[in-house]
Structure formats: structure tokens, C-alpha cells
Amino acid sequence: MNECAHCGAEDAPEDGIVVGKTSEGGDSTCNVCLHSHLHEGTSLSNQEAHVAALKMLGYSHASIADLLQDLHKEPKPAKSTVDEYSSRINTKIDRAKQTYTKLEPLA
């Protein structure tokens, strides 16, 4: 059974909580802890951070919609809604890369 190294949560997909490792490796983490880390440490909105956390754990957009429904106990978001949040995340990543490239000479 997977357990989050940060909060001790265990896999409970029926409640929208999943535990895994990101592609970067490291300790096992749950999507809730990863969401908090992303939301507090980046310019991602609350929902963008939820989607990003689940994408980092390897979930598809359709699976993310299911997990968000179970996590929030609200109606299931459409896959197209998850697609839109993902697009916004990618736009922010591209802007951050451009900013870094332009400011790197100042470092």
C-alpha cells in the first residue's frame, strides 16, 4: 500500500486521494500535499495546482476529472475543463521559461 511521506495519507481513489511518485522520483507523495506545494510555491491557481499535481503523478485528463469529482464531492468536471486547466498550466510554464531566459544574464 502506498503512503504519502509527507502526511501519511494512503491511496483512497474513491475519496480523490492518490499516492505516487512524480517522474522526478523522490518520496511518495499524495496529490493533496503536491497540490499544496504547487499552489503555495507557484503562480498556479487552486484548480490548476490540482490538475498539475495529478498530471505529475501520471494521470490522464479523464482520470483527473474523476478524481477531482471524488476529492471535492462536487459534480464531475468535464474532460474539456481539465484540458483548459492543462493548457493554462502550459502557458504559465512557457512564460516562466521565457522570463528565466531573458533574466538569466542578470544572475
Q: Where are the domains of the chain?
A: 13-106
Tell me, what's the pLDDT at 24? 82
Percent of the chain with pLDDT over 90: 93
Q: In terms of pTM, does the model score above 0.75?
A: yes
Strand pairing category for 25-30 and 19-22: antiparallel
Q: How confident is the model at residue 99 (pLDDT cuts 50, 70, 90)?
A: very high
CA separation for the pair 81, 25 (Å, rounded):
28
Q: How confident is the model at residue 58 (pLDDT cuts 50, 70, 90)?
A: very high
What are 74-93's pLDDT values in tens digits? Answer: 999 999 999 999 999 999 99
Tell me, what's the pLDDT at 72? 94
